[in-house]
Chains A and B, each alone.
Chain A
């Protein structure tokens, strides 16, 4: 399989989705690093997995449920303790509206 090339365009796109601001140098640097990481992961493709089902994790457990029961929530002062800005027990953020 051909290795996937990561160009600067893609790095900028991913950074945008993750709300990260990158400098020109960082774009360069991360393009290179991501290429290296992907090349490393590509090594895994050498293993023949045709008879293995895709797994999302290593446990064989299934159907772990909890009962529909209420538990105490956090006191609202605790909830807001890390909030940089708050008002009337709400988190305050820059205006987002369509």
Chain B
């Protein structure tokens, strides 16, 4: 039977503040274990947390970009549970009074505009990192776990959707598009490998038209792809049960990426009884309209809007516009390049082709690229003028990309300028014709292929610097009078 699927996603995003949410410890990734901890984030008795204003601003800005309504009144709450990654035995989170509610994210899905409603956006502190003994070689460490509290207290923004997503593909696209927002705002790098973006899902099935079924929660998915796979496998499992008239039990299931299926979490330790109560060590927040207006005014043009503008303003195909606006840095690069070479489609081809290819090859970010957008523009100008051939332009660009040298310099230094001087080309042609009498006679006998061969010989002799069109023309001229 066909069921209606309801998926809700809970995304956690680590914020790029310099210091932690409630103390001055550094948030830098990759520091040696427990070197970035203090009495506040270690939960030692008698300490007092103080809210990092930047973290609140980052959360509010993201919420506004997601069309949420910022709360006038907001408060932190204690979420109580025992686990070694949580030194205080409670996490400072938000419960009934999140920073913002009721937003949405719009994106395209299979050519149609989809709108996913967001229930809430709140701020909380991250927990520590647990390393389990099985990850080590040492046998005596197999039944131990090790705790690093560097991550404890790093600001974590939680974005929760209503259960309105109706397919794994839609969930995937929502995540791809959601991820762009904190990156555009520069409030998070959303790096799943480093754990700065994490996602849990809940999913329920019901026969068409009936009210929502019992949901299962899904955890332990480590990439957007795994989330899509996990949801797909869970739909299969649940519809199979429902088909046989069985009931779905409300439970948390973990994704096993090797076996490509979900399995129920064993322990009941996570019984959802967190006994939330208002955090007495922190004062409530009253978010004034003026602050919100200031933050709104500072929002950059957002990916979806920018993509639409690129299609409209530059007559780019939607595919190009989508690729170019994938990150703010790339879109900025593109527009900067247009200033020195105002040919959008050509610039787009170069960025989507050579530029992104080399970016991937060198494994660097747009910000690390040594070629300035103006320099790329200049290179394209040379290409347009015919100073260099398309093939050479690619070679020169690669050189520019690797060394950061200017197009002009490389062309000059390596004598890469295209030979457009008819006189010197004629000289080369004469030499070639003299050395290849066979090809000349073939041509005379009407073998068209011979011309291609001769052009190739001239190109070889000029190390590819000759303008092929011109060579063709001059060769034909010469051959016709032979």
Asked if A40 CB lies within 8 Å of chain B CBs, one says: no
Knowing A66-B52, A71-B19, A92-B146, the reply to whether A59 touches B283 (Cβ < 8 A) is yes
Binds A, one of B126-134, B190-198, B474-482: B126-134
Q: Which residues of B lie under 8 Å from residue A19 when comparing CB positions?
A: 82
Distance between Cα atoms of A61 and B149 in the complex (Å): 31
CA distance A57 to B76 in the complex (A): 13
Which secondary structure dominates chain A's binding surface?
A: loop
Binds A, one of B22-30, B199-207, B327-335: B22-30
Q: Do the beta carbons of B143 and A64 come within 8 Å of each other?
A: no
The answer, yes or no, to whether A80 is at the interface (CB within 8 Å) is yes
Q: By the criterion CB–CB under 8 Å, are A68 and B55 in contact?
A: yes
- Given A56-B75, A73-B25 in contact, is the A93-B147 Cβ separation under 8 Å? yes
Give chain B interface residues in 49-70, CB to chain A under 8 Å.
50-56
Please state if A97 and B35 are interface contacts (CB–CB under 8 Å).
no
B130 touches A88 (CB 8 A): no
CA distance A80 to B278 in the complex (A): 30
- Complex: A25 Cα to B286 Cα, angstroms: 48
Contacts of A56 in B (CB 8 A): 75, 277-280, 284
Instruction: Provide the residues of chain A in CB contact with B250, threshold 8 Å.
Output: none
Assembled-state Cα–Cα distance A81/B295 (Å): 43
When chains A and B are docked, how far (Å) is the Cα of A51 from the Cα of B398?
A: 73
Q: Is the CB of B35 within 8 A of A73?
A: yes
Instruction: Give the segment of B36-44, B113-121, B306-314, B400-408 that binds chain A.
Output: B36-44
Q: Are A70 and B131 touching (Cβ within 8 A)?
A: no
A18 vs B63: C-alpha distance when bound (angstroms): 35
| Contact of A89 with B35 at beta-carbon distance under 8 Å, contacts A64-B283, A68-B19, A96-B130 already known | yes
Residue numbers in B under 8 Å from A89 (CB-CB)? 32-35
CB of B290 within 8 A of chain A? no
A93 close to B50 (CB less than 8 A) = no
**Which residue of chain A lies nearest to B26 when distances are taken between CB atoms in the complex?**
A70
Q: Given contacts A56-B278, A71-B24, A89-B35, are A96 and B83 in contact (CB under 8 A)?
A: yes
CB of B145 within 8 A of CB of A95, answer yes
Of all chain B residues, the one with the shortest Cβ separation from A55 is: B278
- How many of chain A's residues have a CB under 8 angstroms from any CB in B? 35
CB proximity to A under 8 Å, residues B278-293 = 278-280, 283-286
A58-82: CB near B (< 8 Å → 1, else 0) gives 0101111111111111101001100
> A82 CA to B54 CA in the complex, in Å?
32
Is A46's CB within 8 Å of the partner chain B? Answer: no
Query: Contacts A65-B50, A76-B35; is A91 near B146 (CB within 8 Å)?
Result: yes
What CA separation (Å) do A24 and B333 show in the bound complex?
71
Q: Which residues of A contact B278 (CB under 8 A)?
A: 56
- Is the pair A91, B84 in contact by a Cβ cutoff of 8 Å? yes
Complex CA distance for A69 and B26, rounded to whole angstroms: 9
A45 within 8 A of B: no
B2 within 8 A of A: no
A90 close to B (CB within 8 Å): yes
Q: A56-B280, A67-B54, A87-B146 are in contact. List 4 more A-B contacts (CB 8 A).
A: A56-B279, A68-B55, A96-B84, A98-B254
What are 30 inter-chain pairs, A to B, with CB distance below 8 A? A17-B82, A18-B82, A62-B283, A63-B283, A63-B285, A63-B286, A66-B24, A66-B52, A66-B53, A67-B53, A70-B18, A70-B24, A70-B25, A71-B38, A73-B26, A73-B35, A76-B35, A87-B144, A88-B33, A90-B33, A90-B147, A90-B148, A93-B146, A94-B145, A95-B132, A95-B144, A95-B145, A96-B84, A96-B130, A98-B254
Seen from chain B, the residues whose Cβ lies within 8 Å of a Cβ on chain A are 17-19, 23-26, 32-39, 42, 50-56, 75, 80, 82-84, 130-134, 141-149, 254, 265-267, 273, 275, 277-280, 283-286
